[in-house]
Amino acid sequence: MALPRTSFTHGPKLPAVVGGGAGAQAGAPTTTGNAAAATSAPGKPRALVTGASSGIGWACAEALRDAGFEVIGTSRKGAGAAHPDGIEMVALDMGDPASIAEVAESVVAGGAPAVVVANAGESQSGPFEELPADALNRVFQVNVLGQVDLVQRLLPSMRAAGRGRVILVGSMLGGLPLPHRSSYVATKAALRGFGLSLRGEVSRFGIGVTVVEPGSINTGISTRRTKYGAAEGSPYRDDALTMVSNLDANEAKGISAEDIAETVMEEVAAERPLPLVARGSRAGLVVPLTRALPTEATLALMRRVHGLK
C-alpha cells in the first residue's frame, strides 16, 4: 500500500504541472526540425523527452502527448527516426555539447518546458580491465554529462516559470552493482547523485526532481547494448558471457516500457513527487531487502541472480 504523500515522505508541495486534456495531441501531424517552431494552444504545457525514438522514451512521449502536453522528442536522427504520432522530433547528439546547446536554446525559445524526461543513454557491458578509454568516456558523456548539461541549460527558464518536473531515468543497477557492467552502473549511480542533490536546490522554485530506476525491462535494449572485452583468451570471458546471457534472459521477461511511463506520469502529476522510485525486478521487495542486508550480501545476491559465484 502506497504511503500518503506528506512533506516528511515526499517533500514539499509543488505547483501542479497539468496537460491540456487526454488525447489532445494524439494523431496530430508531426512537426520537424525546430523545437521553437511548434504551435500549441495558449497555455498548453510543453514536455521534452530525450531518446524518444524507442523504448522508455517512446512510451513517455506517448503518455505525455495523451495527457495533453505538447511533446518534443529527441534522437540522433531527429525527424528521420521512428517516433510516435503527434510528437515533434529534433536531432540531438548527447555526445556533442554543441548539439545539446542548440537544442536547449531552441526549446527555451518556444517557452519553458513544464516537464523534462532525461532518458537517452547507452547500455554498455564488459570487464572493467578491458574497457577501452574512449568507450568509458563516451558512456559518461551520453548517460551523465550530456543529460546534466541539457537540464542545466533548461533550468533557468523553468525556475523563472515557477514550476516544472525533471525526470532522470536511471537504473536499479545504480544502487545494485553488477560485475562486468561497471561503466554503466557508475553512470546510473552518478545520475542518481545529481538528481537527488538537484532536488534540494530547485524545489523552492516549484521544480520537482525524480530519479526513476527501472529494473529488468523488455524494450529490446539487449540487442542494442555495446559489449567490450571478453574475447577468446580473456581471463574474464566465461563470467562475462554468463552474466550477459542471464541479463538478456531477465530482460526478456521484464516489464514493459509502458509500465515505466506510467510511473513517470505518476510523478509528473504528483504535487509531492518522489525523490527516487524503482519499478520492475520485484523492486518493492528487492530494494528494501538490499537496504537491510550487508553490502557484500547484496553484491553476492546480484552475482547469483546473474549466474556468477
Residue 165: per-residue pLDDT: 98
In sequence order, what are the beta bridge partners of 52?
none
Question: What is the distance between the alpha carbons of residues 32 and 79, in angstroms, rounded to a whole number?
Answer: 6
Residue 220: per-residue pLDDT: 81
Residue 35: per-residue pLDDT: 60
Where are the chain's structural domains?
Answer: 22-35+42-305
Residue 223: per-residue pLDDT: 80
Q: Which amino acid is at 193?
A: G
Q: Exposed, middle or buried: residue 265 (CB in 10 Å: 0-12, 13-18, 19+)?
A: buried
CB 228 within 8 A of CB 124: yes
In sequence order, what are the beta bridge partners of 211?
168, 276
**pTM confidence score:** 0.91
Q: Where do the H-state alpha helices sit in 67-181?
A: 97-109, 133-140, 146-161
Nearest to 218 by CA among 168, 267, 260, 185: 260
Choices 3.60.9.10, 2.130.10.10, 3.40.50.300, 3.40.50.720: CATH for 22-35+42-305: 3.40.50.720
- Please say if 184 is a catalytic residue: yes
CB 93 within 8 A of CB 136: no
Catalytic residue among 58, 69, 184, 236: 184
Question: What is the distance between the alpha carbons of residues 274 and 167, in angstroms, rounded to a whole number?
Answer: 10
Residue 248: per-residue pLDDT: 93
Question: What is the distance between the alpha carbons of residues 141 and 32, in angstroms, rounded to a whole number?
Answer: 26
pLDDT 10s per residue in the chain (309 long)? 577 899 998 999 999 997 765 444 333 334 445 565 444 445 689 999 999 999 999 999 999 999 999 999 999 999 899 899 999 999 999 999 999 999 999 999 999 999 999 999 999 999 999 999 999 999 999 999 999 999 999 999 999 999 999 999 999 999 999 999 999 999 999 999 999 999 999 999 999 999 999 999 998 877 889 999 999 999 999 999 999 999 999 999 999 999 999 999 999 999 999 999 999 988 988 999 989 999 999 999 999 999 999
